Amino acid sequence: MGRKLKNSIELAEIAKTLHLPFVGENIFVDAVAALSDAKAGNLSFAKNADWVKKAPSGVALLCRKDDATSGHSLIFSDNPRLDFARALTYLENQVGFEWSVAAPAVHPSAKIGRNVVLGDGVSIGQGSVVAHNVVIGPEVMIGDFCTIKSGAVIGEEGFGFERDSVGRAVRLPHVGSVKIGNNVEVGSLTTVCRGTLGLTTLADGCKIDDHVHIAHNVYIGEDAFVIACAEVSGGVRIGARAWIAPNSALMNQIDIGPDAVVGIGATVLKNVEANSVVVGNPAKPMKNK
């Protein structure tokens, strides 16, 4: 997905602002994106040398000097994610990102409760119901026949920080959004954070209970269940028809396979295979389904 800038800016200007050296062509940067979505003219960052090698031609990267390869426009950084956060903050404040300014598009058959806040560019599909006191952030897409229960918050910034050299927290601005498929339910007082650079996605038919936290960049597959008070950390991928039981916690960047079951109160620290059951703290396989 990524996010376009209101105006393009030279890579050299970004490097100068960050007080960091750069090598390669001084390209004009017109957008920011995760490396997996990046195109020529986009700014991203690389965690390691493999990420640099995978970067498409014309993408500008923040990376460590030791990870550099020829043929790319690079800003050298000892902590690429930290300096990418600093770059995003600079671009947000000094250049600006393009966000939709369109009025929310609500299907005539959808029902909207009292005291609902709809951000610019929101879309809500046929037959969907948004209950009282819901907050929906900019450009959130909600499909057909969905139910968003009272007090849910969808599309706010997630919890993304890096620490600088003296330990102070530096926020990573979130410029993505949320995509909700058809026949999805989101429970009362549940939070669905928008993606950092792309989308947080709730696929068709998934059901999210009350008091659930879904962090940035999460993908929840078709017909999956996430039950009350579960915490789903950033970048987790939950497969189709998986069952995430109450009070469970999922570590960031792990995969939960299709038809897997995560037991009540489980703390999941690594990938869970399809059709398996894990329980406990830390979660361990109990049996095959």
In the β-sheet with 207-208, what is the strand arrangement from edge to edge?
111-112, 129-130, 147-148, 185-186, 207-208, 225-226, 243-244, 261-262, 276-279, 284-288
* Percent of the chain residues past pLDDT 90, beyond the cut: 94
Distance set, CA 278 to CA 227, 229, 234, 240 (Å): 15, 18, 20, 16
Backbone angles phi, psi at 214, to 5 degrees: -115, 115
Mean pLDDT score, 25-47: 95
The pLDDT value given to residue 243: 99
**Residues identified as active-site:** 216
Please state, in angstroms and rounded to a whole number, the distance separating the CA atoms of residues 88 and 264.
39
- Residue-range domains of the chain with CATH: 3-94 (3.40.1390.10), 105-288 (2.160.10.10)
pTM of the entire structure?
Answer: 0.94
Longest Cα separation, the chain:
57
Per-residue pLDDT tens over the stretch 242-281: 999 999 999 999 999 999 999 999 999 999 999 999 999 9
Going by pLDDT thresholds of 50, 70 and 90, the confidence category of residue 188 is very high
Q: Which helix or strand (DSSP H or E) is residue 141 part of?
A: strand 141-142
